A and B are shown apart, each in its own frame.
Chain A
Amino acid sequence: MNLRALACALPLAALAAGNAHARTERLALIVANHQGGTELPELRYAGRDGQRLADVLVDLGGFERADILSVIDGEGGDVMGALDEVERRVAQAKRGGDEVVFLFYYSGHAQNGVLRLGQTQLEMQWIKRRLEESSADVRIAFVDSCGAGAMTREKGGTLAPPFVVQVDQGLSARGQVIITSSSASEVSQESDDIQGSFFTHYLATGLRGDADRNTDGKVTLDEAYAYAYGRTVAATSVTRSGAQHPTYSYDLRGAGDVTLSEPGGADVVIDFPAESEGRYFVVDLDRQLFVAEVDKNAGNTSRIALPKGQYAIKKRMDSHLLMTRLSAREKGVFTIDEGAMERVSFADDYAKGTPIMSDRIADEVGFALSVGLGAQLVLDPGDDGDLFPGLPYVVIEARGRNLVGEHIMTSADVGFGGVKVERDVPGGTIPADVVHVQAGVNVLWTTRLFDDAVLLGGGGRLAAMYWQHTFQDPAALPVGVDATQWYFDFAPGLVGMAGWSFASWGHAEITARSSVMVYTYDSVRPVFPVEALASVWFDF
């Protein structure tokens, strides 16, 4: 997952109830820039975010493709010129008596209240003033970038959960709404999993119908914001950079709600019935583009609106995918029947290229608990195994994922082992019970392979190790030898592991450990405890 600044101005537009005689003209300016100057990293998905939003506007928002202007990887001057062109078109529409909705979307870098467009800059407040000065009846801006909240901080900018647009009945909507992807002090993040920014991804998914709370076939501004806010906060709360909170600035007057999209009137509607449950991914097979994500509970229905095309719907299970092809060349409602979805291995996923394969275990903070069995062997160059004999070993381990960083697992374990041995003495042997107790902390770098089914990791370890020998017949010992002998030391070492996920709640692992400690009693020499373990993990 890459950090990134997003800026966007989301489409939509709404129109409201009101002047029944006026026609509504919808204009949009999509600005996206992958570069933010030499000191900022290149963004990967800014252009794709802009394209996704433009597609939704055309598919469901009532926008004509020709009325959407785009400035992709342009400079500040290009944006100024595009705004001038928008204003020229607004003026032209107003002269014809039309009401005008103007949507501004920005996806790119921003820093200190300034949009970074390659080597050039535009102040957010300047953009805001241009919107305020526009003669369009409704101006809606979506800014998807780091610190985008600087644009809403003044005059009512609110870091808050969803708002509800309430305007007096009988008046057309007039005014301006600015929605940002994050607060003024937060970063906005993009994700390799969803191949875009979190905020724009959920905004676009919501506009396709998943945000339609009241199932009236329309996604209003407040529904879209509520959906994007909730999903963005939830998804980013488990990332290393932490949660990002979308904000809004609202100055809208007039009657009716502002409708951003009308998925109910779309050509193709995918219906997820009440009994379906889980996380579904919708992939446009014609464009190999991930277009929507539905995460639903049983009992509610969800609908996603799409243009005509060919789609794949897939759902990740513990060890495989459920997939179905949807050839939606004609208008219609297509209901998902999970029972009819085919079982597909991860390797045979035919909707690759728009992944969202991961359930983001690799990114999420989580915990796990394990019980393992294994054996310990101590390589002691100065002894034949009397002091540190091989023994069976039981270990309990608690682990945290991503607590200190992405791909980093930290864990603490405690283990017990024991064996009966015959200790060599000059005149034969003496039986003794050997007990070994060990407690350690581990830090592992991990990676997942084969669609997360396999987990590999390696790292360092520091253990406190204790051995105790109890001679079964103390009377057989020479005077001067205690009936109980023990040894304690700290042992730094290495750990390697390989795991296999067999269920959503757990996985199995094999672990190899090698440590070194220094034995100092009879002589000073290094000894090397080596352990091999097989364990079952319960993931939380």
Chain B
Amino acid sequence: MSPTRRPLLALATALVAGMALVGCGNLSEDDLVFFAGLPQKKQLEMRPAGEPSALEQGNSAEQALEVPCADGDLRCHARKVATDLNGISFFLLDLVDEVLKHPPTRRERDRRVWGPIFDVAKQASYRFEMVRVDDGTSALGTFRFCVHGAAGRVPARLVDEVSCDVDLDEDTGLALLLSGQFTPGDLEGARARSGVGSLTLELSRVEPLKGVGRQLVIDFDNDEERTELHLGVVGALLAGTNLERERVDYDFVREADGSGRLNFDAFANLAPEQPGVENLVIGAAWDTEQAGRAEATVARVGDLEHPLFVAVQCWDAELGEVYFRANDDARGDEDACVYSAL
């Protein structure tokens, strides 16, 4: 072989070998495992007594909100509250789902990063990250995810140091907006049917929600037997007290047999003619037939022993009211209540 042909042969060999390395596509087994670790809406859904799932066809949170509640219909108000809170949870999951419709910008074993993506309309950049931690808590491990955002355009080359552990990156201005984690439990096909997790939204960094509080925290835990949710809004303290100025605590439990209970505890200015804010507490419980009891109490903050207003409502399996009392005015038969007290 002549010397001049050797470089050509080497070049051809290198070219063919190089072509074999230029494979591209999204054919993946790892994705099917990785994304199975995301919570689904039904895991975060609160369904008070007699309420169908908002995720079922023909039923939505919007439809529920369109039906006004009669005064004193505590069950209806409880449903309204649940629908509102479901809307918040679903919004957060929709946010994650929207990001996941796009291919990751950075794809590593057990880690995916999207962005920074510049939103022209909002003139802001966002970055989303998912990390799988093989901590032995489940077959798939635990998934952590977070969304960072910053005003203006953030160059991609500057975000390498940003991770879910970073609250505020001074170089880029990227601040943590949403964080969460999820440990899948039972799996149904390629999706987690149950699991334990939490979502935290930094309200103070989201312009339209700044006044609501500092953080919104959703903890959820569900399995075959029951669904538990706790939603809380953490706000600033009331001046001179150790009480928070804004606070919402919502606990929800639904058993597999259809029974459940909820407790809503919020600070709100329910009596504008009086100084300060009031404490609204709504509790409810229902049995497998969906018959149940609800109680609402309005009191000054820290003074639940002397409520300003107390109401009780009981309903039967057809969701018809069997007993109602507002302070001292009552109608119906309290003995017809499925529960005598909460």
| Residues of chain A whose beta carbon lies under 8 Å from any beta carbon of chain B | 383, 386-387, 423-430, 462, 467, 469, 476-482, 485-492, 516-523
Contacts and interface: CB of A to CB of B under 8 A. Distances in A.
B32 A481 contact: yes
Contacts of B25: 467, 485-488, 521
Contacts of B107: 521
Nearest to A521: B28
A490 B192 CA distance: 37
B21 A520 contact: yes
Contact of B190 (A467, A476, A487, A491): A476
Contacts of B193: 427
A22 to B, nearest CB: 63
A519 B35 CA distance: 21
Contacts of B27: 387, 467, 469, 485-487, 521
Contacts of B100: 479-480
B36 A426 contact: yes
Nearest to B19: A490
Contact of B19 (A492, A519, A520): A492
B21 A476 contact: no
Interface of B: 16-17, 19-38, 96-97, 100-101, 107, 109, 112, 139-140, 184, 186-193
A423 B28 contact: no
Given A479-B35, A489-B24, A522-B29, A426 B140 contact: yes
B223 to A, nearest CB: 14
A477 B35 CA distance: 9
B26 A426 contact: no
Chain B interface mostly: mixed
Nearest to B25: A487
A487 B24 contact: yes
Nearest to A464: B19
B105 to A, nearest CB: 13
Contacts of B30: 521-522
The 7 tightest CB contacts between A and B, nearest first, are: A427-B187, A489-B23, A487-B25, A480-B100, A490-B19, A478-B35, A487-B27
21 contacts: A387-B28, A425-B32, A426-B36, A426-B184, A427-B187, A427-B192, A469-B27, A477-B190, A478-B37, A479-B100, A479-B101, A481-B32, A486-B27, A488-B24, A488-B25, A490-B20, A490-B22, A491-B20, A492-B19, A516-B20, A521-B107
Contact of B29 (A387, A428, A490, A517): A387
A143 B38 CA distance: 88
A517 B20 contact: yes
Contacts of B28: 387, 481, 485, 521-522
Contacts of B189: 425, 427-430, 476
Nearest to B93: A479
A425 B35 CA distance: 10
Contacts of B191: 427, 476-478
B20 A518 contact: yes
Nearest to A462: B16
Of the candidates B27, B38, B192, B193, the one having the most CB atoms from chain A within 10 angstroms of its own CB is B27
Of the candidates A425, A430, A486, A492, the one having the most CB atoms from chain B within 10 angstroms of its own CB is A425
Contact of A481 (B21, B24, B31): B31
A481 B23 contact: no
Given A478-B38, A480-B35, A492 B20 contact: yes
Contacts of A425: 32-33, 36, 187, 189-190
Contacts of A488: 23-25
A423 B24 contact: no
Nearest to B39: A479
Nearest to A434: B27
Contacts of A520: 21, 23-24
A489 B25 CA distance: 9
